[in-house]
Amino acid sequence: MKKILLSIALLVGITSANAQETPVGTVVGNFTLTDLNGTSHTLFDYLDAGKMVVIDVSATWCGPCWGYHNTNALNDFYNAKGPNGTNEAMVFFIEGDATTPTTGLSGGANGSGNPASQGDWITGEDMPIIDLTTAASFENSGLNIAYFPVMYVICPNRTVYKSGVAGSIGTLALLNSYIGGCPAPATASPDVTMMSYDTDTYICNGSSHTPEVTIQNNSTTNLTNATVTITQGGNTVSTGTYSGNLASYGVATVTCTPIANPSSGALIATVTTTDDILATNGIISTSLTIYTAAAAPLVQDFTSTAFPYSEYKVSSTSGNNWTYEAGTMKYDCYNYANGSKGDLSIEPVNLSSLTDPSLSFDVAYRGYTAATPENDKLEVFVSTNCGTTWTSVYNKQGTALSTGAPQTASFTPATAADWRTETVSLATFAGQSEVFIKYVGTSNYGNNLYIDNINVESATSVGENELASTSVYPNPASTIVNVAFEGNGGDYTITITDLVGRIVSNTISSNANGATKTELSIADLNTGNYLVTISNGTSKFTQSLIVK
């Protein structure tokens, strides 16, 4: 009942359609909440005591929440690592739907207009259980209730260590593995930590690189100065400074000096302050990649498990990235919250050797709900200026994207019938020596999306012997275009499609035998690039068409 329950949540105002979970690395604010036993809990009290805090936000009516609850992972972790165990962590279960009454936690009625509770959430539980009366009492800390169940793991330095779907990041094994991954809480002695390297480390030949880093004051006294050093191969290539009055746990961005002639390889960023007590937490490493365009044709079937490959990258502002799965690339719309978006950029390719460049790839996708299909979306963009601007060449969503019937179970393609091959003309970019291609997945909280078998090559004809005399002319054209071919009997379909796959013209040439010419009106088409395809079911010819 995953999708139905989410729809109910939206109707009763639990969260907005575009809400995201709070990203990893976010510094959170404080909250004080009272559990069912009347005990107040202040987040910073536990963090300042050096404890890792785990929070599961669920709803009593939520099926996936109930499923995760019944694994007992959270309560087992509390008993092992909480106050009655090793006392390394604190755990909270939060009923996050402020519109449902407390009676729902014990399996009672959820009130008029609210879905029924999944069961008894209290009996047998040892961890603190909190029933929110307003979402703001929790979200004012910066921890969003993006969907149910969402989980947050927070370190003593007040940063989000893990965030996402509880069932995905909250197994007992994973929860146990997080212990020891957090930095120590602030001390009275000066201490500055390196939190993140913020600059995109994929750059084009000839571009400079300006490092930006985020630092945090990990001392109980204010930080007034810090020095950032960037090294590569043991040589200092960039420096930066901080001066000010940064409060305890405060964060600041330091912009360093540009690296004029960067090269690929490891970068090490180090931050220190006067009398810094701990140097090891002030170091972060990353890898700088200088793009080099691959020669065409380019073929990528994702058989190598060593992903990400050189010059390939995944990115997402919410942390909801494409993932490598069994020889394919997957965008997890089944678990990613509505509005989540992730980019997959493949290595740039040199198209100068192709006379009629074309992109093809395989896609597999199913929705979740048949009655009201979700609009999970796949887009493809192309750039010729190192990603400064992008041109959309493919855009499909929902039923237009689907390769099979909706299903409520998490979709994994199992047979060839689950896949469809898509072809996109790159004629607009012919002659370009450095072309970037980016796949963008957007979740509408439907079901999983996969891509595979990316090919960048010249548009080719299938059944070349049968259609050897095929031509499309004039090209470019403005009002009329002629399609000529050598027919061998039977009906031929002549289709014109735009670059996102929409059919703008469809004509049948019946009983075509011998030299055949069909005149098509294109006066109503917008200027741009199109594909003309001639097919009789067993052979096919495709050629790009420019309408001016």
> Are β-strands 357-365 and 341-345 bridged in parallel, bridged antiparallel, or unpaired?
unpaired
Is-contact 477 522, C-beta < 8 A?
Answer: yes
Structure tokens at 142: 């910066």
| pLDDT(461) > 80 | no
Under the banding of pLDDT at 50, 70 and 90, the label for residue 460 is low
Is-contact 352 442, C-beta < 8 A?
Answer: no
**pLDDT tens readout for residues 169-223:** 999 999 999 999 998 889 899 999 999 999 999 999 889 999 999 999 999 999 9
Question: Rounded distance, CA 32 to CA 141, Å?
Answer: 10
Q: Pick the last residue of a domain from 267, 290, 313.
A: 290
Structure tokens at 524: 């109503």
Q: Are residues 234 and 163 in the same domain?
A: no
**pLDDT tens readout for residues 263-291:** 999 999 999 999 999 999 999 999 999 99
Q: Are residues 153 and 51 in the same domain?
A: yes
Q: Are residues 66 and 136 in the same domain?
A: yes
Using DSSP's 3-state secondary structure scheme, residue 63 falls into helix
| pLDDT(465) > 50 | no
Is-contact 101 107, C-beta < 8 A?
Answer: no
Q: Pick the residue with more confidence: 503 or 74?
A: 74
Under the banding of pLDDT at 50, 70 and 90, the label for residue 6 is very low
Mean pLDDT of 16-21: 53
pLDDT number for residue 362: 93
| pLDDT(355) > 90 | no
Q: Are residues 280 and 346 in the same domain?
A: no
**Residue 464 resides in a domain:** no
Cα-based angle 67, 10, 29 (whole degrees, multiple of 5): 80
Question: Rounded distance, CA 241 to CA 253, Å?
Answer: 10
The helix, strand and coil proportions of the chain, stated in percent and rounded to the nearest 5, come to 10, 40, 50
**Residue 482 resides in a domain:** yes
- Record the pTM: 0.70
**Which residues are bridge partners to 441 per DSSP?**
342, 378
Contacts 24+ apart (CB under 8 A), 38-43: 39/128, 41/90, 41/92, 41/128, 41/130, 43/141, 43/154
pLDDT number for residue 542: 77
Q: Are residues 244 and 262 in the same domain?
A: yes
Question: Of 47, 63, 15, 114, nearest to 55 (Cα)?
Answer: 47
Q: Are residues 336 and 380 in the same domain?
A: yes
Using DSSP's 3-state secondary structure scheme, residue 10 falls into helix
Position 245, amino acid = N
Question: Rounded distance, CA 104 to CA 10, Å?
Answer: 19
Which CATH number does the domain housing residue 147 bear?
Answer: 3.40.30.10
Q: Pick the last residue of a domain from 146, 178, 210.
A: 178
| pLDDT(11) > 80 | no
**Residue 245 resides in a domain:** yes
**Look-up: residue for tokens 């995953």?**
2
**Which residues are bridge partners to 151 per DSSP?**
56, 164
Q: Are residues 403 and 367 in the same domain?
A: yes
Which CATH number does the domain housing residue 277 bear?
Answer: 2.60.40.10
Provide the CA 334 distance to its chain's centre, in angstroms: 12
Q: Are residues 488 and 379 in the same domain?
A: no
**Residue 37 resides in a domain:** yes
pLDDT number for residue 432: 95
Cα-based angle 174, 176, 181 (whole degrees, multiple of 5): 90
Structure tokens at 61: 């009516």
For the chain, give the mean pLDDT.
Answer: 90
Question: Of 241, 244, 246, nearest to 222 (Cα)?
Answer: 246
Q: Pick the residue with more confidence: 460 or 267?
A: 267
Say which residues have a Cβ less than 8 Å from residue 168's Cβ, sequence separation at least 6.
335
| pLDDT(100) > 90 | no
pLDDT number for residue 467: 59
Q: Are residues 298 and 375 in the same domain?
A: yes
175-202 CB burial, b ≥16 within 10 A, e <16: beebeeebbebbeeebbbbbbbbebebb
pLDDT number for residue 513: 86
| pLDDT(8) > 60 | no
DSSP state of 353: T
Q: Pick the last residue of a domain from 458, 492, 527.
A: 458
Q: Are residues 267 and 359 in the same domain?
A: no
Position 166, amino acid = A
pLDDT number for residue 46: 97
**Residue 183 resides in a domain:** no
**Residue 187 resides in a domain:** no
Using DSSP's 3-state secondary structure scheme, residue 65 falls into helix
Using DSSP's 3-state secondary structure scheme, residue 516 falls into strand
- Residue 266 burial (CB < 10 Å; 0-12/13-18/19+)? exposed
pLDDT number for residue 112: 67
| pLDDT(488) > 90 | no
The total number of structural domains that make up the chain: 4
Structure tokens at 59: 């709803």
Q: Are residues 298 and 283 in the same domain?
A: no
DSSP track, 448-467: -EEEEEEEEEE---BSTTTT
Under the banding of pLDDT at 50, 70 and 90, the label for residue 10 is very low
pLDDT number for residue 469: 66
Which CATH number does the domain housing residue 493 bear?
Answer: 2.60.40.3080
Structure tokens at 439: 């796949």
Query: Residue 539: which domain range?
Result: 471-547
pLDDT number for residue 500: 62
Structure tokens at 337: 């919250």
**pLDDT tens readout for residues 394-406:** 999 999 999 999 9
pLDDT number for residue 547: 87
Using DSSP's 3-state secondary structure scheme, residue 104 falls into helix
Q: Are residues 24 and 124 in the same domain?
A: yes
pLDDT number for residue 522: 94
| pLDDT(4) > 70 | no
Using DSSP's 3-state secondary structure scheme, residue 254 falls into strand
Structure tokens at 169: 């990041």
**Residue 185 resides in a domain:** no
**pLDDT tens readout for residues 443-459:** 998 999 999 999 998 87
**Residue 217 resides in a domain:** yes
